Chain A
Amino acid sequence: MANNAKTISASGVEPRGPKPRPMLSPRNIMIYGTLFIVAIYYALPLYVMVVTSLKGMPEIRLGNIFAPPVEVTFEPWVKAWAEACTGLNCNGLSQGFWNSVKILIPSAALSILIASINGYALANWKFKGSEVFFTILIFGAFVPYQVIIYPIVIILRELNLFGKLGGLVMVHVIFGMPILTLLFRNYFTSLPEELFKAARVDGAGFWGIYFRIMLPMSLPIFVVALILQVTGIWNDFLFGVIYTKPDNYPMTVQLNNIVNSVQGVKEYNVNMAATMLTGIVPLIIYFASGKLFVRGIAAGAVKG
């Protein structure tokens, strides 16, 4: 405060130069103070997860959940990954992790490819009825999944895909379609239309324009879509539990089975390590992608 005193003083000093802006004004204290407390509140569960997963069970029983570990141990992480039990099966989360990877890669790739082509067709090659189908698709995004899940079970059984990874991939492609199509349609619509016209005058066709003009210009939106799909598919629970068999359960389903299994003594440190393991993939993507993640979720929010 001292260095501000002389400029603020009312002792006839002419105001001159930049207006003094004290760092510790009541306004700033209020704003930063509130944000700081809020930030702690939001960060705390992550902190609790980490510290709990690094403690031994005796320490957990004695101490409090916010205290940092006295003796750091990675035992719970190893156990969660390789030995934790879901019912009778004690192979840990690793199997779920690899299942999730196997589900994620084709689901994300296919859904993005299909949706980007859909969005491109909707933005630049409108045909009779295209808007109608698109509207149905967008409204479809609001239909509760519960209304649709059972008929899809029947469809997948007919296609002999029920309980298999392929079936779940198809489900992810279907349910990712509304939001991704919207995302791509809006992006392609925002590109200057004259560019598209110029390419047509230059004799490029549907696929030519898509691959030669649109794709090279759209890398950011593909990254946004990828972030959206990777986190969305990785975090899915409902589809995983319905459309796959225990051998193919994704990580989230396995995690829930491990933590909420009623058998045996509860090992909270292992549970938290397992929870961290499951959360770590989307967290890495989130922290690495920064603004693009925000753009992805905001893109879903803008009106078509």
Chain B
Amino acid sequence: MTSVSIQNLDLNFGSVNVLKQLNLSIEEGEFLVLLGASGCGKSTLLNCIAGLLDVSDGQIFINGKNVTWAEPSERGIGMVFQSYALYPQMTVKGNLSFGLKNARMPKQEIEARVARAAEILQIEPLLDRKPGALSGGQRQRVAIGRALVRDVDVFLFDEPLSNLDAKLRAELRVEIKRLHQKLGNTMIYVTHDQVEAMTLADRIAIMRGGLVQQLASPDEIYNRPANKYVADFIGSPAMNFFEGQIDADGKFNVGKLTIDLKNYDFADGTAKGEHWLGYRPEHVVLGEAALSMPVHVEAVADIVEPMGSDTLIWTKIEGHDFRIRTDGQQKVAAGDRLVVGMDPRFASIFDKTTEERV
């Protein structure tokens, strides 16, 4: 069953179209991540779903009910904010129960729900404290608890981990995932962090300029990016690109390098003319093994960045910057000559003008 459905959503601030004819449909129990650079409209979309922003056109359905004009509190959503947005003058308990009191819920029911949420999130000892006396991670938990007590179908997360340090962020990420598995609610999660997106999402919607660029599983997005923007956005370091031509024999030519595309999975069988060929740094093979790859070429390591677990090597191939990510145990020094092996199966090819995947 569809949990949240967005149909032809438009949002204009004055003459600026922030969201353009946006359609999105989220299944019950699904974990959807809205991912994009800042200013792409992802938070705006979330605020529209929450009812905190009025839409210019289009409709929003939650659980089959048209909520386009409904108040935020009537939509059956809970929301977790980046800055936690805990009410500073209320205790943790007060924060958790404020919404329920506004809904005029009986006292015992409030008590029961607060107790349950506190138990799930393991914040029982904190109930009588004020938010000022909590650590960042604890505040975030209370913020999640505030959504939890509402016993709603849809959870909205607006960059909930961005204010935390790297270690805590990794911990809470796992906790959110665990929470999702336990509760099975629909969750919509906005972030600009691709690691969060890849690890948490059932599906990711990559947004840019108020449009969804690609809506697919993390695996699909990583392996078969729908266009050059998505390919470039996902992956660290970013994908390498070559600008070249595909000739009549189905071979990609860039400078003196020719890449035979016969085992590339074309969407409609064939392509010709000007194209981009993208290749992920981590799919490069070096050394002896490279010689057995379908494509191999020599390059000189310009800069080597050892990072422990792996090593980044910057080279140039046919005038294009080319990054290689390799095992951290490989001993490479700047100036070394390398044999770079590639397999067209892992490549992504995009039309030169439309930048769509072919």
Q: Judge A-B direct contact (beta carbons within 8 Å).
A: yes
- A192 and B52 in contact, given A199-B98, A216-B89, A217-B88 (Cβ under 8 angstroms): no
| Residues in B whose Cβ lies below 8 Å from that of A195 | 83, 85-87
Q: Does B144 sit at the interface, judged by CB under 8 A?
A: no
- A198 and B146 in contact, given A192-B83, A213-B87, A216-B89 (Cβ under 8 angstroms): yes
A204 near B98: Cβ-Cβ < 8 Å: yes
| Interface residues as binary, B42-59 with A (CB distance below 8 Å gives 1, 0 otherwise) | 000001001110000000
| Interface residues as binary, A189-213 with B (CB distance below 8 Å gives 1, 0 otherwise) | 0001011011111111000100011
Give bound CA distance, A217 to B81, whole Å.
19
- A198 and B73 in contact, given A203-B102, A204-B102, A208-B102 (Cβ under 8 angstroms): no
Q: Does B218 sit at the interface, judged by CB under 8 A?
A: no
| Residues in B whose Cβ lies below 8 Å from that of A200 | 51-52, 71-73
Q: Does B63 sit at the interface, judged by CB under 8 A?
A: no
Q: Which bracket fits the contact residues of A?
A: 10 to 19
Q: Does B77 sit at the interface, judged by CB under 8 A?
A: yes
- A198 and B103 in contact, given A203-B73, A213-B87 (Cβ under 8 angstroms): no
B82 near A202: Cβ-Cβ < 8 Å: no
Q: Does B344 sit at the interface, judged by CB under 8 A?
A: no
Q: How many A-B residue pairs have CB under 8 A?
A: 62
Give bound CA distance, A19 to B62, whole Å.
68
Q: Does B281 sit at the interface, judged by CB under 8 A?
A: no
Q: Does B225 sit at the interface, judged by CB under 8 A?
A: no
| Residues in A whose Cβ lies below 8 Å from that of B51 | 200
Q: Does B78 sit at the interface, judged by CB under 8 A?
A: yes
Shortest C-beta distance, A172 to chain B (Å), equals 31
| Interface residues as binary, B100-143 with A (CB distance below 8 Å gives 1, 0 otherwise) | 00110000000000000000000000000000000000000000
| Residues in A whose Cβ lies below 8 Å from that of B234 | none
Residue ID in chain A nearest B50 by CB atoms:
A201
Give bound CA distance, A217 to B300, whole Å.
62
| Residues in A whose Cβ lies below 8 Å from that of B99 | 201-203
Shortest C-beta distance, B298 to chain A (Å), equals 54
Residue ID in chain A nearest B147 by CB atoms:
A201
Q: Does B79 sit at the interface, judged by CB under 8 A?
A: yes
Q: Residue A199 contacts which of B47, B77, B78, B87 (CB distance < 8 angstroms)?
A: B87
Give bound CA distance, A58 to B89, whole Å.
61
| Residues in A whose Cβ lies below 8 Å from that of B103 | 203
Q: Residue A202 contacts which of B83, B84, B98, B158 (CB distance < 8 angstroms)?
A: B98
B83 near A194: Cβ-Cβ < 8 Å: yes
Q: Residue B79 contacts which of A192, A201, A212, A213 (CB distance < 8 angstroms)?
A: A201
Shortest C-beta distance, B56 to chain A (Å), equals 14
A202 near B50: Cβ-Cβ < 8 Å: no
Give bound CA distance, A133 to B51, whole Å.
26
| Residues in A whose Cβ lies below 8 Å from that of B98 | 199, 202, 204, 212
- A202 and B88 in contact, given A197-B50, A197-B79, A197-B81 (Cβ under 8 angstroms): no
Give bound CA distance, A199 to B83, whole Å.
14
Give bound CA distance, A101 to B87, whole Å.
37
Shortest C-beta distance, B59 to chain A (Å), equals 20
Residue ID in chain B nearest A198 by CB atoms:
B85
Shortest C-beta distance, B291 to chain A (Å), equals 56
A201 near B78: Cβ-Cβ < 8 Å: yes
Shortest C-beta distance, B157 to chain A (Å), equals 12
Shortest C-beta distance, A132 to chain B (Å), equals 14
Q: Residue B82 contacts which of A194, A199, A203, A212 (CB distance < 8 angstroms)?
A: A194
Shortest C-beta distance, B314 to chain A (Å), equals 40
Shortest C-beta distance, A124 to chain B (Å), equals 11
Give bound CA distance, A192 to B83, whole Å.
8
| 15 contacts across the A-B interface (CB closer than 8 A) | A194-B81, A197-B47, A197-B52, A198-B79, A198-B86, A198-B87, A199-B98, A200-B51, A200-B72, A200-B73, A201-B72, A202-B102, A203-B74, A204-B73, A204-B102
Binding site for B on A (CB under 8 A): 192, 194-195, 197-204, 208, 212-213, 216-217
Closest 5 CB pairs of A and B: A203-B73, A202-B99, A194-B85, A203-B102, A194-B81
